């Protein structure tokens, strides 16, 4: 992964704390990581945590200015060799599947070159995961060939329910990203 440029999208769910360790693991493998957080994600983990771990500024505001003459969401999209959304909430999955670009992360994903793969590591309640609407959106996205789902695992969820919806283990996510880049 030496020199690989990973755009890590972090959305608002309790599993957001796991993305901190993910960024560290990627950097340990020699990758460069830039983080885009949704507003909800910043309620679970602070941007400062990711800045300290990655050595890069964290972006979360669609109206944030980039360097002079730079359009931030386009620059981030062009920079990435791969995008990873971990955790991916049902909300961001729905936005991506419908082409909605109303925050920085969804706008960056829409602007990614067609050759840039997007890995999605969902994390949500078991009933949300089983919802036929979500499953239809995931099938649609994977059918496009650009989007790759790293299935959640079964286990005890933050809400106390037990079932599929727990974000995949970090090592599983790292290995999935490596496979997509191979």
Catalytic residue among 51, 159, 161, 162: 159
Residue 159 annotated as catalytic: yes
Q: What does the pLDDT profile of the chain (182 residues) look like in tens digits?
A: 899 999 999 999 999 999 999 999 999 999 999 999 999 999 999 999 999 999 999 999 988 877 777 899 999 999 999 999 999 999 999 999 999 999 999 999 999 999 999 999 999 999 999 999 999 999 999 999 999 999 999 998 888 888 899 999 999 999 999 999 99
List own/partner pairs for 99-103 with CB under 8 A and 24 or more apart. 102/62, 103/38, 103/39, 103/62
According to CATH, the superfamily of the domain at 5-181 is Flavin prenyltransferase-like (3.40.50.1950)
**Tokens 């067609």, residue?**
114
Going across the sheet that includes 5-10, the strands are: 32-37, 5-10, 82-88, 118-122, 147-149
Domain boundaries defined on the chain: 5-181
**Backbone phi and psi for residue 149, each to the nearest 5 degrees, phi listed first:** -95, 130
Considering the entire predicted model, what is its pTM? 0.96
Tokens (6 digits) for 30: 């020699």
């Amino acid at each position: 992964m030496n020199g690989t440029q990973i755009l890590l999208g972090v959305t608002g769910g309790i599993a957001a704390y796991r993305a901190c360790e993910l960024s560290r693991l990627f950097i340990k493998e020699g990758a460069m990581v830039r983080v885009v957080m949704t507003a909800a994600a910043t309620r679970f983990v602070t941007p400062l945590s990711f800045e300290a771990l990655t050595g890069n500024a964290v972006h979360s505001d669609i109206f944030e200015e980039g360097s002079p003459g730079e359009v931030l969401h386009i620059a981030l999209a062009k920079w990435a060799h791969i995008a990873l959304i971990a955790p991916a909430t049902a909300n961001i999955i729905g936005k991506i599947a419908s082409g909605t670009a109303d925050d920085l992360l969804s706008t960056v994903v829409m602007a990614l070159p067609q050759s840039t793969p997007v890995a999605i590591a969902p994390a949500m309640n078991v009933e949300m995961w089983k919802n036929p609407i979500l499953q239809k959106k995931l099938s649609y996205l994977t059918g496009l060939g650009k989007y790759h789902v790293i299935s959640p695992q079964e286990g005890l969820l933050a809400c106390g329910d037990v079932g599929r919806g727990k974000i995949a283990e970090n090592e599983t996510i790292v290995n999935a990203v490596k496979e997509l880049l191979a």
